[in-house]
A and B are shown apart, each in its own frame.
Chain A
Amino acid sequence: MIEIKTKGDCVICILEGVLNGTEHIDVSASQVSNKKIQLVGQNIDSWNTDFVITLFNAFKQVSKENITYSNLPKGMEQLLRLAFQTPYKEEENPPQKLPFLEFIGEYGLRFCRSVKKGTMFIRECLSSWGRQLIGKAVYRSKDFWMILADCGPKSILIVSLISFMVGLILAFVGAIQLKTFGAQIYVASLVTIGMTRIMGAIMTGVIMAGRTGASYAATIGTMQVNEELDALQTMGISRTDFLVLPRMNALLLSMPILILLSDIMGIVGGCFVCVLFWDIPLAEYIKYAVNSFYLTNFLVGVFHGIVFGLIIALCGCYFGVNCGRNADSVGTATTQAVVYAIVWMIVMTGILTAICEGLGV
């Protein structure tokens, strides 16, 4: 039980019996802030920390000099003294919810800032690219070969598997529709054109964004956390030369080869379905596939792949370089690298398709 009495500028708090935190202390901040508080214990049977918390919250604005303790259990007094040790401070600039229009404005400004930052980064990368052409860019060839090995040969298995499955799916779905016209044999053409023109590039792009783009962002982001990027900067070594160029080069080199592999595996996947499930003879499938193979389609696919490689490298490196300095930010950077790479790849596919349509390719 708690009893409160006011005598002049003194507030006397008598605590007695069982104190378990269910008590209600009916005082306002203005009533107690400049007063002396006397906490007096009388036959206290038991107490717990919930009660101490209730008491502290009621008097938290009172400075420690204005509180006196008498006859309180030792633990309770020590706990209260410890709690009142730090002077009370109002929360500084509590986060405020912005009005709707200000929120839109703030969001717009943030968007403009990030566009500017992204553009500056691309400009930095282009100048590194230029320096590379005149042999002035600094990066270790050992790093380049290691990165190339990671994004090229080590990606073969996953690219092959996924492309095989995509070819398989294309053939299944296509054959069901074409069967109604008795034209299952054209599945070979559908798979070949689909894979070489765009599906091979898109599937390889998505795999590489998830595999390599994420790894770029995580590696560079961790370097940021470990102050390695600061060390580079203070050594006067360009981060785009040293970190972005080898990664960009490795992806630009491996993407066309992976796309070729993806095209072949997709066509093989289609063949697998046609021969095993739709009773199309192997020779027929090959004949139709070869007839439907156009170099233009293949080159358009490879060009898409090169653009995707550039997007993946830029997104991975950009979010890595701009990563914060804790473990959480590395996770965020990795997620953003993959999401932005995939979104930009789809946007670029739309743009490139429209351009190809315009050019009649």
Chain B
Amino acid sequence: MKQDPMIRVKNLSIGYDGKVIMKDLSFDISKGDIFIIMGGSGCGKSTLLRTLTGLIPAQSGQIWIQGIDFINTNSKEKLEIMKHSGILYQSGALFSSMTLAENVALPLQQYTSYSQDKISQIVAFKLALVGLSGYEDYYPSEISGGMRKRAGLARALALDPEIVYFDEPSAGLDPVSSKNLDDLILEINRTLGTTIIVVTHELSSIFSIGKNSIFLDKTVRTISAKGNPNELLKNPPNQQVYEFLTRGAQYEK
């Protein structure tokens, strides 16, 4: 029997205040996938991510996460789904008044009844996973941008989520830090089997980590290509995808 996809999106329209940015979005994300949402600047990638994570309402259409109707379900069940999801925001979104350890501990204190000792152990382990051992007592303002993102990832992984969303993980990082973060994403996917959804327009990340992808096309305001990014580069279905994946090279049919 074929397994249900982790996330199923059908005829989704996204936007703000009744204004539709993208429409007719339909795609499946299977368990353990590294799924890339790509597209040019301002095409609605982050809006799609915000809709998938329930930060803004969908204009129309349906989203199922782990078989549950995410749009129409009650807030309790929505919360339950979000408990199994982690999000790494573009800026890391660490709470500036808390140390890294306190940041990572927050979801654990909120949703588990672990003792303080156990929480400290989990925090130290998660920070070690992202290469930040020994930085427990640092404040976000005292570390670099790349470290902030890794600490944000440690917080996203705190509750051992089944899905982790990444909003432009490479934004503002130097090439080496960006590659290290990509390697970390691959490692997490391999070792923990976590389903990973990445919103990005960074080509090196797309080709090195992406197993599946969708291309949001601003000109037609919907998905104009789906599939493995490397395959899409070999057989580009249209000019926009080709230009995007080749940094604007001339398209010849």
Q: Which residues of A approach B to under 8 Å, CB–CB?
A: 138, 140, 143, 146, 223, 226-228, 230-231, 233-237
A143 engages B97 (CB within 8 Å): yes
B106 engages A235 (CB within 8 Å): yes
B110 engages A228 (CB within 8 Å): no
A228-B94, A231-B87 given; name 14 further pairs at CB < 8 Å. A143-B97, A146-B97, A226-B96, A227-B89, A227-B91, A228-B93, A228-B95, A231-B93, A233-B55, A234-B54, A235-B106, A236-B79, A236-B111, A237-B106
* Residue count of chain B within 8 Å CB distance of chain A: 24
- Residues from chain A with a CB closer than 8 A to the CB of B89 are 227, 230-231
A164–B50 CA distance with the chains assembled, in angstroms: 52
Q: Would A236 and B93 be within 8 Å (CB), given that A230-B55, A231-B87 are in contact?
A: no
Q: Would A230 and B93 be within 8 Å (CB), given that A235-B107, A235-B110, A237-B110 are in contact?
A: yes
A237–B103 CA distance with the chains assembled, in angstroms: 13
- Residues from chain A with a CB closer than 8 A to the CB of B54 are 234
B180 at the interface (CB under 8 A from A): no
> How many pairs of residues, A versus B, come closer than 8 Å at their CB atoms?
46
A316–B50 CA distance with the chains assembled, in angstroms: 26
A9–B50 CA distance with the chains assembled, in angstroms: 52
Q: Which residues B72-102 have CB closer than 8 A to chain A? A: 79, 82-83, 85, 87, 89-91, 93-98, 102
What distance in Å separates the Cβ of B91 from its nearest Cβ neighbour in chain A?
5
A235–B111 CA distance with the chains assembled, in angstroms: 9
Q: Would A228 and B55 be within 8 Å (CB), given that A236-B82, A236-B83 are in contact?
A: no
A226–B155 CA distance with the chains assembled, in angstroms: 16
B66 at the interface (CB under 8 A from A): no
A218–B94 CA distance with the chains assembled, in angstroms: 17
What distance in Å separates the Cβ of B202 from its nearest Cβ neighbour in chain A?
19
B60 at the interface (CB under 8 A from A): no
B97 engages A138 (CB within 8 Å): no
B110 engages A227 (CB within 8 Å): no
Which 3 interchain pairs have the tightest Cβ spacing? A227-B93, A231-B93, A227-B89
B120 at the interface (CB under 8 A from A): no
- Residues from chain B with a CB closer than 8 A to the CB of A236 are 79, 82-83, 110-111
- Residues from chain B with a CB closer than 8 A to the CB of A146 are 97
Q: List 12 A-B pairs, Cβ < 8 Å.
A: A138-B110, A140-B98, A226-B93, A227-B90, A228-B96, A230-B55, A231-B89, A231-B155, A234-B85, A235-B82, A236-B79, A237-B106
What distance in Å separates the Cβ of A290 from its nearest Cβ neighbour in chain B?
45
A360–B211 CA distance with the chains assembled, in angstroms: 76
- Residues from chain A with a CB closer than 8 A to the CB of B106 are 235, 237
A146–B96 CA distance with the chains assembled, in angstroms: 13
B91 engages A234 (CB within 8 Å): no
A257–B88 CA distance with the chains assembled, in angstroms: 43
B53 at the interface (CB under 8 A from A): yes
Q: Which residue of A lies closest to B81 (CB)?
A: A236
Q: Would A234 and B82 be within 8 Å (CB), given that A227-B89, A227-B91, A228-B93 are in contact?
A: yes
What distance in Å separates the Cβ of A146 from its nearest Cβ neighbour in chain B?
7
What distance in Å separates the Cβ of B154 from its nearest Cβ neighbour in chain A?
13
